[in-house]
Amino acid sequence: MAATPLNGLSLEDLLPHRGGMLLVDEVLEVESSHARTSSSPRPSWPLAEESGVHPLILVELAAQTAGVCNGWDRIQTQGLDSNQMGWLVGIKKAEFFVDSLPFAQKVVSCARTTHNFANLREVACELYQEQRLIARVTLQLFQAEQS
């Protein structure tokens, strides 16, 4: 599937993450209520071990994919120069179906907003490697009011 045109937007426009904490490599699809991203686990990632990356990192990949949706929505409704305030993220549920993520084997994360009320969202995310489901994560996101 072709990448969704981002109209010149970068990952840094969509997400507040920088440097080693920006784990998303590419946005494959994005709308205000869903996103699909890809990432390749690297030895420089947090939770990396000799043989791969601990699957707990999939929670962060799910959160960053949800953040792509939130960033896209913010830019579409408030403009590119709007406040890029982060979201507090709670883990409602996480199921992992792998023991480790091999380096350089692409992870595709699919997130969709299931509930959206004011500054609270619930996001369901499924993560895949080579079309095999490796995790399901449900997140609750809250953004404080801007003063």
**Which residue, among 135, 145, 146, has the nearest Cα to 63 in the 3D structure?**
135
pLDDT at residue 23 above 50? yes
pLDDT at residue 1 above 60? no
**Which of the listed CATH numbers 3.40.50.12640, 3.10.129.10, 3.30.300.30, 3.40.630.30 matches domain 21-142?**
3.10.129.10
Report the alpha-carbon distance of residue 53 to residue 86 in Å, rounded. Answer: 25
* Angle formed at CA 30 by CA 110 and CA 139, multiple of 5 degrees: 45
Calculate the CA 83 to chain-centre distance.
Answer: 19
**Which residue, among 43, 39, 63, has the nearest Cα to 51 in the 3D structure?**
43
What pLDDT, in 10s, does the model give residues 39-76? 999 999 999 999 999 999 999 999 999 988 888 888 78
Q: What is the DSSP string of 95-107?
A: EE--S-B-TT--E
- What pTM was computed for the model? 0.88
DSSP 8-state secondary structure symbol assigned to residue 119: T
What DSSP element (H or E) covers 12? helix 11-14
Q: Cβ distance 54 to 100 under 8 Å?
A: yes
- CB count, 10 Å around CB of 115? 10
Report the alpha-carbon distance of residue 105 to residue 130 in Å, rounded. Answer: 8
In this predicted model, which residue has the larger pLDDT, 104 or 48?
48
* Residue extents of the structural domains in the chain: 21-142
Report the alpha-carbon distance of residue 28 to residue 96 in Å, rounded. Answer: 23
pLDDT at residue 105 above 90? yes
Q: In this predicted structure, what is the pLDDT of residue 122? A: 96
